[in-house]
Structure 1
Amino acid sequence: MTDTSDILVVFDCDGTLVDSAHNVLACMRLAFEDAGLPAPTDLAIRRSIGLNPDAAVRSLAAEPLDDPILEQIVSGYKQAFFHRRLQADYHEPLFDGVREVLDHFAGRNIAMAMATGKSLRGVNIVIEKHSLHGYFGSLQTPDHNPGKPHPQMLEKAMLAAGTLPERTFMIGDTSFDMMLAKNAGCRGIGVTWGYHDDSDLLESGAEKLINRFEDLVGIIEAD
């Protein structure tokens, strides 16, 4: 059996572990509209998922934003998400196969972490809602890191796990995830069920693409 004790698998959250697009779309549209600006298109918002909120809002604005307007939209987005999570019909499901693969890796003592543009509060809500306690050795979020594709999230995850870049895999659905992996000297594996096209993932450095979460097991354990 392949020795996996020195491997670290780092997961993005939105679009990789959980399907949150419908919530992100609604909250971002509302934040722009409340600031008196036209709402971005759904396609544009989907392509911004994975960035930290400040960077996402800047990328979606039709014109450069003054700091007060930027702060208003970002704050409005966060507040909209907070209130949305309180609704009885709030839904942010795990993608198929996620729990089974996490269980498998945990059983093989493969270290895992999360690196995401989602806030730490949002990540903890996902963990609580889906009972994902104990899987991730570290949670890397924009609360204490520069946003993707700056390499710091992966650098801190590797430091916490005691692993090397060549034995670290970044699993994500966006070009930002693949660029993060490249910038940190790690290996990027793109998932095809998320928010960026397959071609975007490959062009930004994905080593491989997977169509099912279960396909990740063979890639990691064959290394």
Structure 2
Amino acid sequence: MTHTPLRLCVLDVDGTLVDSIHNIVAAMEMASGVHGIVCPPPERCRRVVGLELVEAVATLFPEHEDALHRRVAESYKQAFQTLRARPDHVEHLYPGALEALDALEEAGVILGIATGKSRRGVAAMIERHGLEGRFLTIQTADDNPGKPHPGMLQRAMVEVGAEPGNTVMVGDTSFDMKMARAAGTGALGVAWGYHPVVELKEAGAHVVIDAYATLTDAAAGVWTQIGGTGQCA
């Protein structure tokens, strides 16, 4: 009897599962205003999505000291909570995301999350979109080194018992792709997020998809490419 190895698909959140850049920019503008500094334009904010929060703030405001970076990060958390509590708060799932999760689960793939979003933010996203019970492992920067350090993926694999050759990271930023490569897993980029496709490829993406409808087949192809099972049906 042939044993099919456990396959793990770990997804990023912001820019991969949900489109949240409008809330990220709004929260950063609010946090900057609290401390009397000017928030960079939205395009620069997009560049740091996925990083651990203090590192993201430091990247946006390199001219300021670490103590201010940490204060701005705390103000950002408070601002995001305020935005999340508003009745008009919205972070849409990208088209086809639910169907892709269904297809992966039907193929026997274990699902996980690895994100720079806070654990509280992930919990709110899961509740809002009815995704309870879908992700067997959830890794955030609250509990791990920030991306592109491989710690989130390494911990996810340990928690579910998966090997790097049968694990794929799905994300929209170069940080996701570098994390995957550092962990020895597949690196699957998505074209609809916050970093250009060329940067995903330069950061080590094995493949970049432009629609969720192709995710299951693309993951199978990546597993074959990196020496995993390749079986996803």
| TM-score (structure 1 length as normaliser) | 0.95
Q: Aligned partners of 1:59 and 1:108: how far apart in 2? A: 40
Count of residues in correspondence between the two structures: 221
In the other structure, the counterpart of 1:140 is 139
Task: Letter of the 1:148 partner, please give it.
Answer: K
Q: Aligned partners of 1:158 and 1:53: how far apart in 2? A: 24
Question: Is residue 99 from structure 1 mapped to residue 98 from structure 2 by the alignment?
Answer: yes
In the other structure, the counterpart of 1:111 is 110
Q: Aligned partners of 2:62 and 2:145: how far apart in 1? A: 24
Instruction: Spell out, residue by residue over 1:22-80, the C-alpha distance to the aligned partner (whole angstroms, 9 max, x if none).
Output: 0001111121122111111111100100111101000000404231x122200110000
In the other structure, the counterpart of 2:58 is 58
Q: Aligned partners of 2:139 and 2:45: how far apart in 1? A: 22
Instruction: Spell out, residue by residue over 1:173-205, the C-alpha distance to the aligned partner (whole angstroms, 9 max, x if none).
Output: 000000000110111010000000111101100
Question: Is residue 208 from structure 1 mapped to residue 207 from structure 2 by the alignment?
Answer: yes
In the other structure, the counterpart of 2:162 is 163
1:155–1:37 distance in 2 versus 1, CA, 3 Å: same
* Aligned pairs (5 A) from 1:122-141: 122-141=121-140
- Pairwise CA distance, 1:98: 0.5
Q: SS of 1:154's equivalent?
A: helix
Q: SS of 1:214's equivalent?
A: helix
- Pairwise CA distance, 1:104: 1.3
CA RMSD of aligned residues (A): 1.4
Give the 4+ runs in structure 1 shifted more than 6 A: none
Q: Which runs of 5+ in 2 are unaligned?
A: 222-229
In the other structure, the counterpart of 2:172 is 173
Q: SS of 1:112's equivalent?
A: strand
Q: Aligned partners of 1:217 and 1:195: how far apart in 2? A: 22
Q: Aligned partners of 1:6 and 1:180: how far apart in 2? A: 21
Conserved 8 A contact 2:148-2:176: yes
Q: Aligned partners of 2:212 and 2:4: how far apart in 1? A: 18
Task: Letter of the 1:54 partner, please give it.
Answer: V
Residue identity over aligned pairs, in percent, reads 43
Task: Letter of the 2:42 partner, please give it.
Answer: D
Task: Letter of the 1:34 partner, please give it.
Answer: V
1:24–1:118 distance in 2 versus 1, CA, 3 Å: same
Question: Is the deviation greater in 104-113 or in 187-196?
Answer: 104-113
In the other structure, the counterpart of 2:36 is 36
Conserved 8 A contact 1:5-1:109: no
In the other structure, the counterpart of 2:8 is 8
Conserved 8 A contact 2:209-2:218: no
In the other structure, the counterpart of 1:194 is 193
Instruction: Spell out, residue by residue over 1:195-219, the C-alpha distance to the aligned partner (whole angstroms, 9 max, x if none).
Output: 0011110110000000001111112
- Pairwise CA distance, 1:143: 1.0
Question: Is residue 45 from structure 1 mapped to residue 45 from structure 2 by the alignment?
Answer: yes
1:4–1:76 distance in 2 versus 1, CA, 3 Å: farther
Q: Aligned partners of 1:44 and 1:51: how far apart in 2? A: 13
Q: SS of 2:212's equivalent?
A: coil
